[in-house]
Amino acid sequence: MEFPKENFSEWYNEVVEAAGLVDKRYPVKGMHVWRPYGWKIMQNIDNFFREIFTRYGHDEVNFPLLIPETEFQKEAEHIRGFEDEVFWVTHGGLDELDVKLILRPTSETAMYPMFSLWIRSHADLPLKIFQIVNIFRYETKQTRTFIRMREVHFFEAHTAHRTYEEAEEQIKEDIEIWKQIAKKLALPYRIVKKADWDKFPGAVYSLGVETIMPSGRTLQIATFHQYGQNFSKPYEIKYLKEDGEHEYAHQTTFGMSERLLGAIVGIHGDDRGLIIPPEIAPIQVVIVPIVGSKKEEVLEESRRIRDELLREGIRVHLDDRDNYTPGYKFYDWELRGVPLRLEIGPRDMEKNQVVLVRRDTREKIPAKREEYVARIKELLGEIQENLYARAEEEMAKKIKEVSSIDDIGDVQGVAAVPWCGSEECGHEIEDRTEKKIIGVPVDVKKKGRCVICGKETDTVAFVAKPY
């Protein structure tokens, strides 16, 4: 099987199954089975989340999946945002439930009634928690593995603070955390402020982390929301200040999902399949013995190498399957995106060397037996950096400055467009281009004239087709 990446959508749909990430044959629309290889990658990502959020003072929790309708309906905008996409539980056995339950589409309305019990005084703040759970959304559009699903593997951090300013500081910290996640996953991105009509239901404002897929469509891979007191008021999350007065808490959230894996698949993959960044690869090095006429000796040497690498903390797999040729194994591990292949045969043993092959550049690098461990560590670092650098370069090429509404249609990616910021002009941009304003990049200011009304502005809108 070949994987031409030119037709991105078809390539993506095939590669996620062929590489062993998921099985899409599960008989519920938008719910795919995670297979061991895909789940290991996701777990490596989750474990990094646990490590980094703990380092920044968050605690992990786990809330129930079911939320009573009565709690769900306390924040008006929030309900309106989600009412047409929640799954309902209406019966227990044969009995109709007095209070209907929903499967969480996100956990604000599950958590905040508890926050109001937990938070009493200023000494209880800040409260910083996160959970890694599945959420459910009744998607009616076409579903796509990792990108648009009805059951979503989800990360959500929720915080509560004394003041709006402290909540703002939290969002700055979130961005700092995100930068380290982006590096770990080798994902390029831009941070945008969402248009007011597009923010999270109930938020004061929302920031989106956007990346661009090879199709030119944007993918939102993380969000930060400032809630101010919009949830703390209806949910009665109050604390006693030092001066004896009661005050409502200020809240934020940070959300991410399995979309991150979708972005890794799409952005790093090539015609041969996936390329998994070494930092999160379940297998960083695969050993493929080329036994020739010296089967026992080569296998014994391969096992020795595997053990040496294991002791060095490198995630290594020895492919000693009897019934496949080395050529088939090369193909198989390239498809799965293992960053480095180690070949060893009788001739290499004579020369006291191994041959290393990079998945990203396909370069073949002989390494002496005495120094091959150090070389592998170096190469894994180089591959990680190369993946990030070349993905960032690709992304930068897909963002084009445009000064006329008529030129937006031609952009395969993101059009950076002068916009006065008004809702009318925003909607007109969207209607006339059949694209969306995905947001205003937070660190870009550029003088220009709004492409609709001609007013002078230094605001730039990113206009694109999002997933």
- Shortest separation between residue 464's beta carbon and Zn ion, angstroms: 19
From 5-13, 198-206, 286-294, 414-422, give the range in contact with Zn ion by CB under 5 A.
414-422
Provide CB contacts within 8 A for 417, sequence distance 6+.
402, 403, 405, 408, 429, 451, 460, 461, 462, 463
Encoded amino acid at 387, one letter: L
Strands 316-318 and 285-289: parallel
Residues in CB range of 369: below 8 A, 6 or more apart: 352, 353, 354
Please, which residue, 285 or 415, has the CB nearer to Zn ion? Answer: 415
Smallest distance, Zn ion to C-beta of residue 432, A: 13
Which range binds Zn ion by CB under 5 A, 54-62, 304-312, 317-325, 412-420?
412-420
Smallest distance from the beta carbon of 447 to Zn ion, in angstroms?
14
> How far apart are alpha carbons 359 and 282 in whole angstroms?
15
Least distance CB 455 / Zn ion (angstroms): 5
Question: CB of 443: closest distance to Zn ion in angstroms?
Answer: 22
- Residue 152's closest CA among 118, 104, 94, 194? 104
Q: Which is nearer to Zn ion, 196 or 378 (CB)?
A: 196
Q: Which is nearer to Zn ion, 384 or 459 (CB)?
A: 459
Shortest Å distance, C-beta 194 to Zn ion:
18
CA distances 253 to 110, 172, 275, Å, are 14, 12, 31
Mask 231-250, x = binds Zn ion (CB under 5 A)? --------------------
In degrees rounded to 5, what are phi and psi of residue 104? -55, 130
The contacts of residue 146 (CB under 8 Å, 6+ apart) are 16, 22, 258, 259, 261, 262, 265
Task: Give the residue from 333, 250, 255, 249 showing the smallest Cα distance to 289.
Answer: 333
Site string for Zn ion, 423-452 (x = CB under 5 A): --x------------------------x-x
| C-beta closer to Zn ion: residue 265 or 452 | 452
- 3-class state of residue 144 by DSSP: strand
Q: Which is nearer to Zn ion, 405 or 420 (by Cβ)?
A: 420
Q: Which of residues 330-389 bind Zn ion (CB under 5 A)?
A: none
Count, residues near Zn ion per rule CB under 5 A: 5
Give whole-number Cα distances, 406 to 4, 138, 326, 425, 442, in Å. Answer: 32, 36, 54, 14, 25
3-state secondary structure of 89: strand
Q: Could you say which residues in the range 157-216 bind Zn ion, by CB under 5 A?
A: none
DSSP 202-249: T-SEEEEEEEE-TTS-EEEEEEEEEEETTTTTTTT-EEE-TTS-EEE-
3-state class (DSSP) for residue 113: helix
Sequence-ordered list of residues with C-beta below 8 angstroms from that of 317, at least 6 positions apart, any chain = 283, 285, 286, 287, 306, 338
Task: Choose between 135 and 450: whose C-beta lies nearer to Zn ion.
Answer: 450
Could you say which residues in the range 260-319 bind Zn ion, by CB under 5 A?
Answer: none
Question: Is the four-CA dihedral 109, 112, 113, 114 of positive or negative sign?
Answer: positive
Q: How far is the CB of 422 from Zn ion (least distance, A)?
A: 5
What amino acid is encoded at 361 in this protein?
T
Stretch that binds Zn ion, among 170-178, 266-274, 328-336, 422-430 (CB under 5 A): 422-430
Count of alpha carbons within 13 angstroms of residue 426, beta-carbon side: 18
* 460 near Zn ion, rule: CB under 5 A: no
Q: For residue 240, which phi and psi values (nearest 5 degrees)? A: -90, 120
Q: Are strands 460-464 and 414-418 parallel, antiparallel or unpaired?
A: antiparallel
Nearer to Zn ion, 264 or 420 (CB): 420
Nearer to Zn ion, 67 or 452 (CB): 452
Residue 59 CB, shortest distance to Zn ion, in Å, is 45
* Interface mask toward Zn ion for 65-104; x: CB under 5 A: ----------------------------------------
Instruction: Tell me whether residue 20 or residue 421 sits nearer to Zn ion (CB atom).
Output: 421
User: Contact, 158 vs 113, CB < 8 A?
Assistant: no
Question: Is the Cβ of residue 376 or residue 452 nearer to Zn ion in the bound state?
Answer: 452
Please identify, among the stretches 98-106, 114-122, 215-223, 417-425, the one whose residues bind Zn ion according to the rule CB under 5 A.
Answer: 417-425
Nearer to Zn ion, 256 or 452 (CB): 452
Q: Candidates 102, 125, 212, 420: give the one binding Zn ion (CB under 5 A).
A: 420
Output the six-digit token pair for 109.
Answer: 């309305």
CB of 218 to Zn ion, least distance (A): 22
Binding residues for Zn ion (CB under 5 A): 420, 425, 450, 452-453
